[in-house]
Amino acid sequence: MSEPLLVRVWAPHAERVDLVVGDRAVPMVRGADDVFEQEAPAAHGERYGIRLDGGAVRPDPRAVWLPDGVHSPGAVYHHDRFAWTDEGWTGRPWEQAVVYELHVGTFTPDGTFDAATRRMEHLVDLGVTHVELLPVCAFDGVAGWGYDGVAPWSVHEPYGGPDGLKAFVDAAHRHGLAVILDVVHNHLGPSGAYLSELGPFFTDRYHTPWGESVNLDGPGSDQVRAYLLGSLSAWVHDFHVDGIRLDAVHEMQDNRAVPFLEEISAAMDGWSSRLGRPLVTVAESDRNDPWTVMPRGQGGLGMTAQWDDDVHHALHAWLTGESQGYYADFAADPPTALQTVLTAAFLHAGGYSSFRGRSHGRPVDRAAVPGYRFVASLQTHDQVGNRALGERLPALVPDGHLAAGAALLLLGPFVPMLFMGEEWAASTPWLFFSSFDDPDLAAAVTQGRRAEFADHGWRAADVPDPQAPGTVERSRLVWDERHDPRHAAMLAWYRHLLRLRHTHPQLRDPRLDQVRVEATDEVVTMHRGDVRVAASVADQPRTVLLDRPVGTVLASFGRVAGLDGPSTEVLLGPGSAAVLR
């Protein structure tokens, strides 16, 4: 049955724009600010697109459904056909969040929203509160990380399309899980991006690692911002997501008096107020600037939280001993690095960064900025996937080291984020993969990846080909390995730690100035109220001296001794961790 289809397109470069529905073409009417508009009857699923000045039919830039790929006309999608069941959903408080980063295409063997939905009980049992989906916008090909998306309003069809995403979010809410969507507003992918044909969506005044920057502050940027902000509104209102994670905001070049990030945070707060449920806005930023999360009324950008890579880098350097690249400053003095990041969020807080060759960052006011303003991790898609061989941490360190790192992360003052499979020490790598059909582009991606690692001494033959089907297949989680004793032990450890986090108020206290950390090259003790978290990566037993007597072991991994009664000493075996009270 046909229903009205209203299409609006900002196309200042065009003289004429037609709305093409099936085999019918209807001229669109130019209105204010070069926005063309037209309404036509269209059936759900009917193919439609736009045609500029008699050229090829392109997808509507606001198309939600692209079942035939990013180069073909989209399909009409009427949102009211989906029957939501989450009317009573009131969200989850961010202050108590535990985030689980999930890539739909490799989370399950099927790689779909539906298959991921069937694993939600696992996430609930684990103790997760928020599921963060890597980008789901349509991109060219079947397999990819999602950061090469080209249609910011759409949902990738191989994952299940718009109905699949809605069903996933609806099911998540039934399970008590909030959903955060990773979005990319700093660039579009290299194949299928037609926005530049419409108008100045991009600018050559700035450049990103992926090419021209999105035009956020030049002529025409009002409409560019409105287009991107409209996509966020659609995710919140049409797809019921509970927040967004903004990719690499440091590459969103913007010199306007009101930055686009501030505009986004204001809009999200307004929608949250009207909907009556919390909406979060998380920024991935490498600036180490607490003003990213400070309130707008105090001159900040008003983001709910920001990724804190310094915590990851300090933990990784302590656990692995790696010192290459940006790990250098963290590996120079691992105990000091850990003490600093676990109590003050940033190692680089205005001091010199050898990796950057300059000073970097700004200090965090520990008494004013709560820990939940920072998302910390032991592993992420970036930190795993940007290694040449995509090794997860269990491939680099013994299980005892991983358990020690998990204790410091999950019971620390920040919002912890897990990368899918981390909780059972997944053995599968997570590699960089793509599936571009254009042979020249495919070859360029392969050559570029191998050239990148050739600079670090890797032979081209040793770097997996991103375009090879086996690369994505190797990256899929193997769920059956959870039942292996080794993996089951790690899963039990993660579950136990998260239960402690949720049940002990001291472990949810966000005050950074109440955290105290003592560290050596081999042992770290973190004080959270009357709870002590002791972690060792030594290869021999180590005695840990405590500031006051403790008598209860709340959790342990590996061998722990010396607590027959209240004591100020505990003996940690090689590669072990204990939570004491």
103-139, pLDDT tens digit by residue? 999 999 999 999 999 999 999 999 999 999 999 999 9
Instruction: Judge whether 247 counts as a catalytic residue.
Output: yes
Mean pLDDT score, 469-486:
98
pLDDT average, residue stretch 457-479: 96
pLDDT digits 0-9 by tens, 306-329: 999 999 999 999 999 999 999 999
| Shared-domain flag, residues 132 and 49 | no
Contact of 401 with 356, CB cutoff 8 Å: no
The SS3 assignment for 378 reads coil
- Strand 2-10 with 35-43, pairing: antiparallel
User: What is the 3-state secondary structure of 461-516?
Assistant: HHCCCCCCHHHHHHCCCCHHHHHCHHHHHHHHHHHHHHHHHHHCHHHHCCCHHHEE
Residue 166 in this model has a pLDDT that exceeds 90 = yes
Residue 204 resides in a domain: yes
Q: What is the pLDDT of residues 246-271, one digit of tens each?
A: 999 999 999 999 999 999 999 999 99
Q: What is the residue type of 345?
A: A
CA-based nearest residue to 229, from 6, 4, 29, 10: 10
Please say which residue of 447, 479, 503 terminates a domain: 503
pLDDT at 88: 96
Q: Single out the residue in 477, 503, 529 at which a domain terminates.
A: 503
Q: Which of 77, 58, 69 is nearest to 18 (CA)?
A: 58
Q: Could you tell me the residue range of the domain that residue 525 belongs to? A: 518-580
pLDDT for res 566: 87
> Please, are residues 103 and 420 in contact by the beta-carbon 8 Å criterion?
yes
Q: Which token pair is 473?
A: 């297949």
168 plus 239 within the same structural domain: yes
Distance CA(564)–CA(440), nearest Å, equals 68
Q: What is the pLDDT of residues 12-46, one digit of tens each?
A: 999 999 999 999 999 999 999 999 999 999 999 99
Is residue 484 located within the same domain as residue 554?
A: no
Backbone angles phi, psi at 310, to 5 degrees: -60, -35
Query: 365 and 454 in one domain?
Result: yes
Q: Given the residues 60, 247, 262, 263, select the one marked as catalytic.
A: 247
Based on the fold, state whether residues 267 and 179 are members of the same structural domain: yes
Same domain, 159 and 294: yes
Spatial neighbors of 368 by CB under 8 A, at least 6 apart, are none
Residue type at 206 in one-letter notation? Y
| Other beta carbons within 10 Å of 503 | 10
Which tokens hold the place of 329?
């400053």
Q: Average pLDDT for residues 535-558, to the nearest whole number?
A: 94
Nearest to 391 by CA among 424, 435, 434, 425: 425
Same domain assignment for residues 284 and 189 = yes
Q: What is the DSSP letter of 28?
A: P
Which of the 8 DSSP states describes residue 65?
Answer: B
Whether the predicted pLDDT of 489 surpasses 90: yes
CATH number at residue 544: 2.60.40.1180
Asked whether the beta carbons of 306 and 286 are under 8 A apart, the reply is no
Domains identified in the chain, total number: 3
pLDDT value, residue 525 = 98
Position 147 in a domain: yes
What are the backbone dihedrals phi and psi of residue 5, each rounded to the nearest 5 degrees, phi first? -115, 120
Q: Does the pLDDT of residue 563 top 80, yes or no?
A: no
Question: Which residues have CB under 8 Å from 529's CB, separation 6+?
Answer: 505, 506, 507, 509, 514
Q: pLDDT tens digits, residue range 326-342?
A: 999 999 999 999 999 99
**Residue 61 DSSP label:** T
Which candidate, 41, 51, 46, places its Cα nearest to that of 77? 46
Residue 562 has a pLDDT of: 79
Bridge-based pairing of strands 415-419 and 74-75 is unpaired
Mean pLDDT of the chain: 97
Give the pLDDT of residue 184: 97
Look at residues 503, 528, 558 and tell me which one is the last residue of a structural domain.
Answer: 503
Q: Name the catalytic one among 18, 284, 465, 522.
A: 284
Q: What is the pLDDT of residue 211?
A: 85
Handedness of CA 217, 223, 227, 232 (dihedral sign): positive
Domain assignment present for 81: no
Query: What percent of the chain is helix, strand and coil (3-state, nearest 5)?
Result: 35, 25, 40
Q: Which two three-digit tokens encode residue 191?
A: 């194949």
Q: For the chain, first and last CA: distance in Å?
A: 65
**Given this model, what pLDDT does residue 515 score?**
98
Q: Is residue 20 part of a domain?
A: yes
Backbone angles phi, psi at 113, to 5 degrees: -60, -40
Whether 69 is in a domain gets the answer no
200 and 327 fall within a common domain: yes
Residue 272 belongs to a domain with what CATH number? 3.20.20.80
CA distance 231 to 225: 10
User: Of 313, 312, 294, nearest to 304 (Cα)?
Assistant: 294
Pair (478, 535) in one structural domain: no
DSSP string, 106-135: HHSSS-SHHHHHTTHHHHHHHT--EEEEPP
Confidence of residue 456 (pLDDT cuts 50, 70, 90): confident
Token pair for residue 339? 């003490």
Read off φ and ψ for residue 243, nearest 5 degrees: 170, 175
Residue 126 lies in a domain: yes
Per-residue model confidence (pLDDT) at position 565: 76
Q: Which two tokens stand for residue 312?
A: 């990851």
Residue 92 confidence (pLDDT) above 90: yes
Single-letter code of the amino acid located at 200: P
Judge whether 287 and 250 are in contact, CB under 8 Å: yes
Cα atoms found within 13 Å of the Cα of residue 341, Cβ hemisphere only: 30
Rg of the chain, C-alpha, whole Å:
25
Residue 513 lies in a domain: no
- Determine the pLDDT at residue 455: 82
- pLDDT-derived band at 520 (thresholds 50, 70, 90) equals very high
Instruction: Look at residue 548 and tell me if it is in a domain.
Output: yes
Name residues whose C-beta falls within 8 Å of residue 564's C-beta, 6 or more positions apart in sequence: none
Angle between helices 221-237 and 260-275 (to 10 degrees): 30
Sequence length of the chain is 581
**Are residues 474 and 525 located together in one domain of the fold?**
no
Examine the domain organization and report whether 166 and 243 are in the same domain: yes
What CATH number has the domain bearing residue 34? Answer: 2.60.40.10
Domain co-membership, 160 together with 229: yes
CA angle 478, 482, 486 (to 5 degrees): 120
